[in-house]
Amino acid sequence: MKRVSLTQYLIEEQRLNNSIPAELRLLIEVLARACKTISHSVGKGALGEVLGAAESENVQGEIQKKLDIISNEILLQANEWGGHLAAMASEEMETIHPIPNRYPMGEYMLLFDPLDGSSNIDVNVSIGTIFSVLKAPEGMATPTEDDFLQPGTKQVAAGYAVYGPQTVLVLTTGNGVHGFTLDREMGSWVMTQRNIQIPVDTAEYAINASNSRHWYAPVKRYITELEAGKTGPREKNFNMRWVASMVADVHRILNRGGIFMYPADQREPDKPGKLRLMYEANPMALLVEQAGGAATDGKQRILDIQPTKLHQRVAVFLGSRNEVERVTRYHAE
Ligand code: AHG
Ligand code: MN
Ligand code: MN
């Protein structure tokens, strides 16, 4: 089999479809290299002294893990000097990170969740890095938080790396979703999946059911119907999976279908759900739509939401189209 590397894919995509300007290609390659470094750290585990909690909290009030901080640092350092970025923002930093004066400023802006699935770090279960790339607004001089507040439709690239039994990078630049497996011996990303498509129907769902007593009626109704199986209104048995790493759950759904949900609930009405719009929901929504699936917050398409805050949370329903459309319909009824 002829091996196509990430570099070759990016260059050929540029030639054929003119969809990846040189600066964006550089950005993606630098990002992919950073993910390789994170993957190496993750793989060391206890031997690299990277497990366990740090002594700090992030802006969400969550205790940071050592690997949250290490991964954040790796991404910042890798992406600072290339001249392709104007600023970065991260789950692990309250405010944006402008490119230091000593480096040239580029036209892209990068957002990331450096380490997704933190609760799985210490138990050797799949975790990942999620990223989203935006263009800086025309005429922007000094980047501010407001410059990042663009709806997900404006993303020029999005993806994730999943650190599982294999390390896999899944990427879209708006022309389909493609997967690259890290060849650890060669240190290169090799295309292993072209044009990933999510089946429109599924018999698998993912939700943290321990929150069920807090759910609103439409979600209760939807899940009750799934649980009822063959003898219920859906006349079909459904299976449940929950990794507690969004990256891993979405990776499964991209590969064999399913619906992933993190709904808003009655606990904090003004902070819907748990996941963050800008660096979790938006990049995943773009990937899922590019793979033929759907992504909503129960009411509207996630990619159409006009963000108002960098760290804002959002309810998430994504995956196989017919199921996402059904649960979204229940919200409207
Ligand atoms: P993070 O580790 O970046 O804070 O994100 C964790 C998220 C997401 O990956 C996952 O789907 C969800 O939190 C798990 O939530 P529960 O703890 O409710 O299972
Ligand atoms: Mn996360
Ligand atoms: Mn995280």
Q: What is the pLDDT of residues 305-320, one digit of tens each?
A: 999 999 999 999 999 9
What is the whole-number distance in angstroms between the Cα of residue 230 and the centre of ligand 3? 37
What is the whole-number distance in angstroms between the Cα of residue 333 and the centre of ligand 3? 34
Instruction: Pick the atom of ligand 1 nearest to 249's CA.
Output: 11
Same domain, 187 and 211: no
Smallest CA separation from ligand 1 atom 19, residue: 244
Same domain, 46 and 122: yes
Given a cut of 90, whether residue 256 has pLDDT beyond it is: yes
Confidence band of 50 (pLDDT split at 50, 70, 90): confident
Number of domains in the chain: 2
Residue 198 within a domain: no
Q: Are 222 and 212 in contact (CB under 8 A)?
A: no
Residue 208 within a domain: yes
Same domain, 11 and 151: yes
Same domain, 189 and 257: no
Residue 262 within a domain: yes
Confidence band of 197 (pLDDT split at 50, 70, 90): very high
> What is the SS3 string spanning the chain?
CCCCEHHHHHHHHHHHHCCCCHHHHHHHHHHHHHHHHHHHHHHHHHHHCCCCEEEEECCCCCEEEHHHHHHHHHHHHHHHCCCCEEEEEECCCCCCEECCCCCCCCCEEEEEEEEECHHHHHHCCCEEEEEEEEECCCCCCCCCHHHHCCCHHHCCEEEEEEECCCEEEEEECCCCCEEEEEECCCCEEEEEECCCCCCCCCCEEECCHHHHHHECHHHHHHHHHHHHHHHCCCCCCCEECCCCCHHHHHHHHHHHCCEEEECCECCCCCCCCCCEHHHHHHHHHHHHHHCCCEEECCCCEHHHCCCCCCCCECCEEEECHHHHHHHHHHHHC
Same domain, 122 and 221: no
Same domain, 167 and 64: yes
**Which ligand has the nearest atom to the CA of 253?**
1
Residue 117 within a domain: yes
Same domain, 177 and 280: no
Residue 1 within a domain: no
Please identify, among 146, 162, 193, the residue that sits at the C-terminal boundary of a domain.
Answer: 193
Please identify, among 141, 160, 193, the residue that sits at the C-terminal boundary of a domain.
Answer: 193
What is the whole-number distance in angstroms between the Cα of residue 163 and the centre of ligand 2? 13
Taking the alpha carbons of 62, 63, 67, 73 in that order, is the dihedral positive or negative? positive
Given a cut of 80, whether residue 1 has pLDDT beyond it is: no
CATH of the domain at 117: 3.30.540.10
Residue 199 within a domain: no
Average pLDDT over residues 73-95: 97
Structural domain including 125 reads 6-193
Given a cut of 90, whether residue 270 has pLDDT beyond it is: no
What is the whole-number distance in angstroms between the Cα of residue 1 and the centre of ligand 3? 36
Smallest CA separation from ligand 1 atom 12, residue: 244
Same domain, 48 and 188: yes
Q: What pLDDT shows up at residue 62? A: 82
Integer Cα distance of 65 and 51 in angstroms: 7
**Which ligand has the nearest atom to the CA of 276?**
2
Cβ atoms < 10 Å from Cβ of 144: 13
Same domain, 118 and 216: no
CATH of the domain at 286: 3.40.190.80
Same domain, 244 and 150: no
Residue 188 within a domain: yes
What phi-psi label fits residue 145: left (phi over 0), alpha (psi between -120 and 50 degrees) or beta? alpha
Integer Cα distance of 179 and 186 in angstroms: 17
Same domain, 185 and 227: no
Please identify, among 137, 170, 193, the residue that sits at the C-terminal boundary of a domain.
Answer: 193
Contacts of residue 164, defined as CB under 8 A and 6 or more positions apart, other chains included, come to: 126, 248, 251
Question: Could you tell which of 121, 246, 247, 280 is best to mutate to test the pocket of ligand 1, judged by most ligand atoms within 8 Å of the CB?
Answer: 246
Given a cut of 90, whether residue 59 has pLDDT beyond it is: no
Same domain, 281 and 175: no
